[in-house]
Amino acid sequence: MTAGFFTLGCKLNQYETEGIADSFKNLGITVIPALRSLDEQADLYIINTCTVTSKSEQKARRVIRKLLKDHPGARVIVTGCYAQVDAESLKNIDSRVRVVPQDDKPSLLTLASSLLDREPEAVPGKFDYMPSSYSFHTRAFLKIQDGCDNFCSYCRVPFARGASVSSPSARVLERAGVLAAKGFGEIVITGVNISAFRDPEKPDYGLPRLIENLAASVPGVRLRVSSLEPESINEELLAVLMHPTICPHFHLPVQSGS
């Protein structure tokens, strides 16, 4: 059995695709390399969609139609944020399209087991995508947070991803150690709105403290911080970001509102 993956949108979507692809590889299913994922014949395609802009939604529809046309015998599963907020539009493209909303995306971590008639080990959750290897990237990703409470007037992400939730800091540090032990030289700290990170067991434990502890726990690894909301930048965070293992690259988004 072979599977192809196509991802639109943010680093978090890319990370979650890697986790799903890794669950397939672990059970002996061949994962097609990213550059050939649309052109090469596969038994199953998973499209991980984005809804931040209308262009990303249009591209998702084009990709789905191309796959259905070029590979009429394959199964096509569509998931991600677009699948959460407008599942009906995607279902209406073709009866062969199966839509898995963002809320149910973790279930795709057990899809490979189901396809091979094996019993999954456990019911996965939002922070269980942790891939042991990467099919489409050379950097490792580390998910610390999901969802957003801001509800900006131009943004559909809170409706697609739900309320802000954070992984316990102990779990984040443990996973960073695993990635370092596997030889990754750089870890990308990612989430929907990582500025909102709060350890669920320690409400005063926020992003600056987490970054500081990560830098101390994996001293030989570069840490790259993904998008930060402009209003989250303060003296405490700036002081932590001066650490020599933090990559001097920051993305402060100013959205287009399209």
- pLDDT at position 256, please? 60
Whether 2-115 shares its CATH topology with 140-241 is answered no
The rounded distance, in Å, linking the Cα atoms of 61 and 90 is: 7
State the DSSP string of 104-146: GGGGGGGHHHHHTT---SS---TT----SS-SS-SSEEEE-EE
d(C-alpha 20, C-alpha 47), whole Å? 11
Residue 257: what pLDDT? 54
Distance CA 79, CA 77 (A): 7
Residue 234: strand, helix, or coil = coil
What is the domain class of 2-115 according to CATH?
alpha beta
pLDDT tens for residues 203-235?
899 999 999 999 999 999 999 999 898 888 899
For the chain, which residues score pLDDT lower than 70?
35, 37, 121, 255-258
Give the containing element (helix H, strand E) for 30: strand 30-31
What is the predicted pLDDT for the residue at 61? 97
**204-243 as b/e, with b when 16 or more CB fall inside 10 Å?**
ebbbbbbbbbbbeebeebbbbbbbbeeebeeeebeebbee
- The candidate with the shortest Cα–Cα distance to 145, out of 164, 159, 173, 170, is 164
Q: What is the pTM of this model?
A: 0.90
Q: Residue 121 has what pLDDT?
A: 67
Tell me what pLDDT residue 119 has.
Answer: 76
pLDDT of residue 87: 96
Domain parsing of the chain, residue ranges: 2-115, 140-241
Q: If one looks up domain 140-241 in CATH, what number appears? A: 3.30.750.210
Is residue 4 within a helix (H) or strand (E), and if so which, with residue range?
strand 2-7
